[in-house]
Amino acid sequence: MRISRRLFIRDGVATVTLGLTAPAFLTAIAQAQTLSSRRLVVVYLGGGNDALNTLIPYQDPNYYSRRPTIAIPAGQVLQVGADAAGRVLGLHPRLGGLRNAFNEGRLALVQRAGYPNSSRSHFEATDIFGTANPNTSTGSGWLGRYLDTLPRPVDALAAWNTTGDTPRALVSGQVGVPAISNASTYRFASPNRGAAATQERAAAQAMAANPAPGRPHLAFVNSTSRSAIETIDRAAQALAYSPTVTYPNNGFGLALRTVAGAITVGIGSKVYWVQTGGYDTHADQGAGGGAYGGLMGTLGDGLWAFYSDIRNRGLANDTTVIVFSEFGRRISENGSGGTDHGAAGLMMVLGGSVRGGLYGTAASLRPGDPTLENNSGDVRYETDFRSVYARVLDHWLGVNSVPILNGDFRAGAPAVF
Amino acid sequence: MAQLDPDIDHLLRRAGFGAGPVEVDTFGRMSPSAAIAHLVDYEGRPDDVDARIGRPDHAQVVSKDLFSPDTDIEDARQRWLFRMIHSRRPLQEKMALFWHNHFATAYSKLNVDSGAMQAAKMMACRPGALRGPQGQLELFRQNALGSFRELVIKIAQDPAMLVWLDGKSNTAARPQENFGREVMELFTIGVGHYTESDVYAAARVFTGWNLERSEGYRKDDPQSYQAFRFSADDHDAGAKTFSFPIYGDGTRTIPERGGAAGMQDGIDLITALASHPETARRLARKFWSFFVSEVHQPDPEFVERTAALYLQANTEIRPVVRFILGSPWFRDPSVRFARYSWPPEFVARAIKEVGWQGFALDQVRTPLANMGMLLFEPPNVGGWPVGPGWFSTATMLARSNFGSQLVSQQKAPLAASIAPEAQTQNGLMAAMLNRITTAPLDSNPRQVLSSYLAAGGAWTGSEEQISTRASGLARLLVGSAEYQLI
């Protein structure tokens, strides 16, 4: 076949176009359209989740010998298959909803997530997961630095915190994150009615607009006040939401319901923060039931209700949930039927666009095994938690993770997207 | 109250819960040094605050049954707020609040463990009110300015703490690290000054520091109780070695000792921790933030001098606090209003300044929870996120809306008391600013407030106009950012 010079040029240009120009063009479209509707829901399990009783190595004899009263019986675990090292694993029996998501291929379980020389202090470790820097527990957080990359002016509801105080992860140089959890109190009350009440709200807003030159602490309190008054009316729309499923009637379920409401009515927040506590199970943790069973029920039922609800709304593909805790717990149970502070933990990623499955490998709990540390007392980390953050930033939120994380953590990142 | 000397007003915000009419009478003619002595040497003041509960000219407590602050946590919360508002020893209540945050213990875990009545008793029972040990809060009040070393020993033997950090089940066979870790990380030397093997050793030190139940214990019996007991059989008698000196000669090992003598292990470790220079510096920095400023970094000279005084005084807190309140750092005008109020400080001060006529303290429970500080319910053993951490949109709205709630309830007495000065708009403004003390108002918020007063039309001084505008103005002031600083 004789190829005309003209055709060659045309195909050549086409090739070049496809190879270089078009993808850049598509990326821009993606930035403008697809990515703009994507959102991230971050769930923090406060207190240090006992990862070994969340994702259970139920064929490891040392799991049972080291946890004589709190091990989950093999017959009760919800099997999820074997990981890359051939270790067979199952979810806690109260995580039925999450197992459904796993079977649908929409739940990623990232094993042994952590960092070198894991802090066993709740506060330092929580701050480290917030700053994404094991050497610094102060300063801005990784989500705060993400918010700082958003184009100005940043919407007052660019992020939505469902807890009362601002977690380290959301601390930003420039963007204040409203805390909105309770519909009945997120309003402006007045001792008067009618015109006077309206004037009071306007006056409070105007007072809070004072930049307070020379007094940054006053300016900061003013900024929370201003942001509150500015977000009351929009937040009320989300809080009036009627879900498609029944959420568990607990703080975690209600917070997730609020998030689903905000997503559904189109508030446009990029990041939501939800947390649930009680994971510092030093005592009376229980096996399948008990205190830890209650924690797992709260977590699993809440997340499954949320995932089902937004899927019913057709919004699951634009929504990703990541779940983390500040550390895992010791392998051996203590004398109180609980577990003390340990090292590596479990991260979970859930959503309609998530590539589900088991990531990383489980530890062998046999004393002396190289997957353990601290005289085989704790699980050694395998996946740097920052690589999960990097994946989320680069592949989900569509920003460059390197400046946000102050380093390149893409290597070894679980390919959850 | 702005009518007080600014130094004394500052002192009462920091070493007390602000100034209401009673404090204006008491402190109005005192010199600052006399005021410091009055506050610090509070044993000279009557300890009569609980006896005044129920008086009609004080804030009110409300209970579904008989008011039972020794066995009901909601009543205990009301009693503590009543003390913050009405005590003649405000520094004692202030320090109790400080220690409650420092040794943060949550009622809810005690409730799960021992039931509501025993849990409330462990948190708040007044000494002698019922059989059994006093509640944790009373420990803080009794030792408010005493020896820190003794306070930590008492806390290690405190039933509430033994449940909260699981010491009650710490035995030689299965050591429990929870208290051993936190006594170093949070209560004394701080993170970075101990190792993981110190945590193991500390857990072993406190093996056998357990609880025992009173005879015939029933959790719904107010005379039943749990008390500290050293169980020699459950104590690990072996030697324990630390990475830091335990004894004055530099020895790092607690010797092997069995039987009842083993209890000395815990005393020796606490003594070492309480007199460790890092504990001294950590407390000095915490006192800087609590008393002096959260806006300015701790002055290194302040930290060194305060820490040195603490060590020289054998961990006694009273001379330390006396030194701080009289120091040039505390008196520096730039540190006035440089501290973010804690929710109960904000609430108590607002009630003192706005008024408490017929005000029921059970109304404060939900607002305090929404502000992020339900008393006896810290979020975790690290205490509350003080400083800027108090402020988010939700907590700021809760503060601002509490202002509305309080002012709505005090509308009539507020209007009546301010009417004589409210015959002009400027008169009302001046009187209200004299009563409700904010950080200095810049000209623009001041202008906003004037416009608000003028927005109701020409000033006639009518009863209705005063009632509306005085309450609206008070609400705006209490809900302002300027008022949240103390």
Among A121, A209, A227, the residue with its CB nearest the CB of B191 is A121
Mean pLDDT of B306-311: 98
pLDDT of residue B424: 96
Q: What band does B2 get if pLDDT is binned at 50, 70 and 90?
A: low
Contact A63, A71 (CB under 8 A): yes
Range scoring the smallest mean pLDDT among A129-138, B25-34, B243-252, B451-460: A129-138
Query: How far off is chain B from A171, nearest CA to CA, in Å?
Result: 10
- The reply to whether A208 touches chain B by the CB within 8 Å rule is yes
Q: What is the three-class DSSP state of B235?
A: coil
Other Cβ atoms within 10 Å of B301 Cβ, number: 9
Q: pLDDT at residue B247 above 70?
A: yes
Query: How far off is chain B from A73, nearest CA to CA, in Å?
Result: 22
Cβ within 8 Å, pair A191-B294: no
Count of A–B CB contacts within 8 Å?
Answer: 196
Q: Determine the Cα–Cα distance for residues B204 and B332; give it in Å rounded to an integer.
A: 47
Q: Exposed, middle or buried by CB within 10 Å (0-12, 13-18, 19+), for B147?
A: middle
pTM: 0.88
Contact A95, A78 (CB under 8 A): yes
Strand partners, B485: B340
Among A181, A207, A221, the residue with its CB nearest the CB of B445 is A207
Contact list, B233 vs chain A (CB under 8 Å): none
Query: Which residues 1-60 of chain A have a CB within 8 Å of chain B?
Result: 46-47
Query: Which residues 128-157 of chain A have a CB within 8 Å of chain B?
Result: none
Q: Determine the Cα–Cα distance for residues A113 and B193; give it in Å rounded to an integer.
A: 26
Q: What is the three-class DSSP state of B76?
A: helix
pLDDT of residue A182: 75
Query: Which residues 68-127 of chain A have a CB within 8 Å of chain B?
Result: 119-124
Contact list, A179 vs chain B (CB under 8 Å): 392-395
For B408, left (φ over 0), alpha (ψ -120 to 50), or beta? alpha
Cβ within 8 Å, pair B196-A374: yes
ipTM: 0.96
pLDDT of residue B65: 86
pLDDT in tens, B271-298: 999 999 999 999 999 999 999 999 999 9
pLDDT of residue A137: 80
Cβ within 8 Å, pair A225-B396: yes
Which parts of B189-316 fold into alpha helices (H)?
A: 196-205, 264-274, 277-287, 300-312
Place of tokens 């969340």: A54
pLDDT of residue A231: 93
Best residue in B161, B397, B477 for a mutation probing chain A (most A CBs within 10 Å) = B397
Q: Determine the Cα–Cα distance for residues A262 and B4; give it in Å rounded to an integer.
A: 49
| List of residues 6+ apart from B70 with CB closer than 8 A | B76, B120, B121, B124, B125, B126, B129, B130, B135, B222
pLDDT in tens, B19-57: 999 999 999 999 999 999 999 999 999 999 999 999 999
Please tell me which residue, A300 or B3, carries the higher pLDDT value: A300
Q: Which stretches of chain A score pLDDT less than 50?
A: 1-34
Query: How far off is chain A from B393, nearest CA to CA, in Å?
Result: 5
Q: pLDDT at residue B88 above 80?
A: yes
Best residue in A124, A140, A165 for a mutation probing chain B (most B CBs within 10 Å) = A165
Q: pLDDT at residue B324 above 80?
A: yes
Which parts of A93-239 fold into alpha helices (H)?
A: 96-103, 122-131, 142-148, 194-208, 216-239
pLDDT of residue B64: 83
Cis peptide bond prior to B379, omega within 30° of 0: no
- A263-281 CB burial, b ≥16 within 10 A, e <16: bbeebebbbbbbbbbbbbb
Cβ within 8 Å, pair A282-B471: no
pLDDT of residue A173: 78
Among B394, B404, B449, the residue with its CB nearest the CB of A203 is B449
Query: How far off is chain B from A375, nearest CA to CA, in Å?
Result: 11
Please tell me which residue, B174 or A302, carries the higher pLDDT value: A302
By CA distance, what is A197's nearest residue in B? B472
Range scoring the smallest mean pLDDT among A115-129, B74-88, B237-251, B396-410: A115-129
Contact list, B484 vs chain A (CB under 8 Å): 221
Cβ within 8 Å, pair B481-A283: no
Among B185, B411, B452, the residue with its CB nearest the CB of A191 is B411
Contact list, B163 vs chain A (CB under 8 Å): none
